[in-house]
């Protein structure tokens, strides 16, 4: 049973560029959340996707956007990159209808903005 997978593992971009990160949820999971984890900090909720729509959003600017595909995989897009966007980006999935309250996290994508 495959867990949550993310790609790429590492990414280096320069200020002003745009980036796309990808996530495949755990098998059977239909809800995907994205988190930003700055160095030495806990993860901060960016947004959540369910049935291809953004269901909830944290305190992040519109430069952060996402998408969920019919197969439940998801993308996180960040436009006009800033140095402060350098972080580990984590994807998490769950299957609410199962009644299970646990999120399963992927290994993350390390984004460095120069």
Partner 1 sequence: GNSVTQMEGPVTLSEEAFLTINCTYTATGYPSLFWYVQYPGEGLQLLLKATKADDKGSNKGFEATYRKETTSFHLEKGSVQVSDSAVYFCALSVYNFNKFYFGSGTKLNVKP
Which residue, 49 or 113, is less far from partner 1 as judged by CB? Answer: 49
Least CB distance to partner 1 at residue 61 (A): 18
Angle at 83 between CA 78 and CA 87, to 5 degrees: 65
Residue 4 or 81: which CB sits closer to partner 1? 4
Q: Which residues bind partner 1 (CB under 8 A)?
A: 4, 31, 33, 35, 40-45, 48, 55-56, 58, 90, 92, 94, 96, 101-108
CB-based burial, 44-75: b 16+ in 10 Å, e otherwise: eebbbbbeeeeeeeeebeeebbbebeeebbbb
Nearer to partner 1 by Cβ, of 3 and 65: the residue is 3
């Amino acid at each position: 049973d495959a867990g949550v997978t993310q790609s790429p593992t590492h990414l280096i971009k320069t200020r002003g560029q745009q980036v796309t990160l990808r996530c495949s949820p755990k098998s059977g999971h239909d809800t995907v959340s994205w988190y930003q984890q700055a160095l030495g900090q806990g993860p901060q909720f960016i947004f959540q996707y369910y049935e291809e729509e953004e269901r909830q959003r944290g305190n992040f600017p519109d430069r952060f956007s996402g998408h969920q595909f019919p197969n439940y995989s998801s993308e996180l897009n960040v436009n006009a990159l800033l140095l402060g966007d350098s972080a580990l980006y984590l994807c998490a999935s769950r299957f609410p209808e199962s009644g299970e309250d646990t999120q399963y996290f992927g290994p993350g994508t390390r984004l460095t903005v120069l």
